[in-house]
Structure 1
Amino acid sequence: MKAFIRFQKPEDGAAPPGLKEVIQEIQKSGVVFGIKEEAVRYFALDPQYDRDLLIAEGVAPVNGEDGKVTFFVDLNREKKPVIMEDGSVNYRDLDYIVSVRKDQKLCEITLPTPGIHGKNVLGTVLRAIDGKPARVVQGSNVYTSEDKLIMYAAIDGHVKYEDGKLSVYATYEVPDNVDNSTGNINFIGSVFVRGNVLAGFTIEAGGDVEVFGVVEGATIKAGGNITLRRGMTGNNKGVLIAGGNIVARYIENSTVQAANDLKAEAIMHSDVKVGNRLELGGRKGLLVGGITRVGKEIDAKVIGSYLATNTVIEVGVDPNVRERYKTVRTEMADLEENVRKADQAISILQKLESAGGLSEEKKTILEKSLRSKAFYEDKLREYKEEMMLLEEKLHSEANGRIKVQNYLYNGVKISIGTASMNVKETLQHCILYKDGADIRVGPY
């Protein structure tokens, strides 16, 4: 890539080589490119002998840079326990599912650059290598920018990058059990579990959840529907919360909330809240034990048991309204008691003040009692206003009914709106509904 020339000092009396002779020597050697004309002229003016003179230098080729893909999601996330703020380790939250939102930027492709050819001093072209393009294939539920260089998620879901293909899937599938090997599942879309969900684990999904096996004392929360192909044995720890419907073969010793409907073959000893309709069908169609609150209708084959198992049923009002009503009523009772105690303290202190004055300590207590009473009374007024609205809802929405195909056993306590009754003797093939302030029993 470089050419040098060396001149020997001429014999005594001989003339040094001139510019013409130097150029002739260079041409004889075949050097035609990258000649350093300034260096040649300088030598002709001030010859330097017996040393190498750089008279030409080629240009090295510059290979192009390969294209690359810059990912904006963590595709190499590994299953590892989460370290809590207090330094403890949560071995069930492994945090390995890569969730993305619709229109989220996934990756950007940088194009390769072309190589720049070089040339040696003999004029031969030295070929450069062009950069190789980066390879990423647009997979399912992924769209690109107009220039095809940026990829975005077309849906909410989780990202997979396999065999050079980038895809987003709306459903996350667990091929076996939810246990220590998977940890808790937290996913923006829907979750399918082919096995069981073991006790103590949690599934949270923005979409639906479907479990093909048994759910033990676990927690499942879904923005959409929950489907349990078998059922749930909660052991008083299991929780199901759905923004849509819940369907299960059976539910036992669990806490259940469905914003819309719930369908099951049997529900036993559970705390159940259903926004719309509860249907108990199949072979058993059984509802027994626990407390069940349903917005509109219950349709069951059997409610209660021949053992007179304590079973509480509330129908005809949004369960959340009824629950809030009970909470406000309890809070009002507590506030009224606090007002009474404050009044009592104020009365005693004011009598002492009239009799002969109060110490600084007791004056402070009196001022504090007056402030507390004012606070309690303000809060009580707020609750009374809310209570009026809640009572109005309780009366206006109380149009629910209970349909029993076979047996409604004694030991069942029923509320429809503001009306209530205790079942004293077993009823058959009946429909219960509210009529004025009473609950009526009609034929099924």
Structure 2
Amino acid sequence: MDSLNEVLLIEVDNDALEVTLKQNLSLPEELKLEDLTLFLEEHGIVYGISKETLEKIVSKEISLPVTVAQGEKPKHGIDACLWTVLEGFKGDSTEVTPGDEDKNLKQVINIPSVTAGTIVGKKINPTPEEKGVSVYGEEIKARPGKDLKLRTGKNTRISDDGMEIISMIDGQVSVEPKVVHVYPIFEVNGNLDLNFGNIDFVGNVNIRGNVPSGFEIKAKGDIRVHGSVESAELVSGGSIYIHQGVVAQGKGLIDAQGEIKTSFLNQANIRAKGDIHVSKSILHSKVETQGRLFCNQGKGNIVGGSISAGVEIVVNELGNHMSTPTELYIGLSESIVTAEKKYKIQLKEARDDVQKLGVLLKRIVTKEAEGSLNAQEKIMKLRIRNSLFESNKLMQEASEQLGELEELFASQDDVKVKIQRTIYPNTVLNFGKYKRKIISKHDHVLFRIEKSEIKFETL
């Protein structure tokens, strides 16, 4: 029926997964199912056509516009991941109900010790992809889940089949992204005071009281504080857990290679490579994470200060009724860009050093093969080998760090801020080079970057 081109309009979505039939003129009385089917096929629509919907159009049971064809959306595979024994102990922290935040954090702090031979981590294999089909009958590719190779941590080994991480000592588990360590424990049974002084320990540190101003705690593993932290410096190669929050008067630093969990932050300086979970409030603080920031249990408000997250911020309330200036940075923070430059320079310098030292070592080994070396040459050979080892180590570190940063750069399209209750005026959102100042109150909204513009939608 040639006249259908004048009567009907076809609208295909950008992903070629949905076809909407719209009406331009009145439908002809003699319209048949075969006419509609042929009309769609002439426009290339051959897959996912709903015969039932077309029959209802013909019989005038439904009016246009209406969806008449749907393709199959591709399903990307799920990446392999690392399950750790801590997940089995802590449970799913996302299911915490209001009022249980303190209980949950206390459970995180009271991590049990493990014995030698305990399985502390397992690899969860990736899942395959499922290809999709467009309404034009064309295959839509999907991405398979990425595989993951388990790595040994401190005092752990990998099982023969490469699927499990096993503790080699009695100690306490510390988890980094993709790595599990087991460390010995240093414990203070009360407040940190001058009897102990500053702590620098190759393991986990457990403080059963408070950490006053001026003290320093450095740990290769996790730091757990059962009380509160004032303007002290806590630096962890693992994660940091503080039960009763941080009141720092703008001084001190909490810095973790893993995650940070606490109940509240007041004028604190916080930095983490992993996610940051604050159950109650973040007030006038400087907070930076390369991952996600969650402040959505209990009151869950952020007021004042500067908050930076590499992937996502989830908060109940942002700003306040008094329009206190509050600024958020989502995506690439200044420190991440600086870190990338630093590791690129380190990688280049280390590669150059490895090449130069390799040439020197080859010369001296050749000379040794042709005859004996004198005492000075033997010392030089040993120094070159040590320098070569250190340069290779620096090169590997830079390469691994750049690999992790590359994943962050690749995830910029999906960065977002989720406001579960209210965002108040005088809050500024920075998505990379794009900025948006909030001038009116909004409830239950999601902010994201779309076509070089910061847009929001209702949750």
User: Shorter-chain TM-score: what band?
Assistant: 0.3 to 0.5
Larger radius of gyration: 1
Structure 1 length-normalised TM: 0.46
**TM-score, normalization by structure 2:** 0.45
From the two aligned structures, give the one with the greater helix fraction.
2
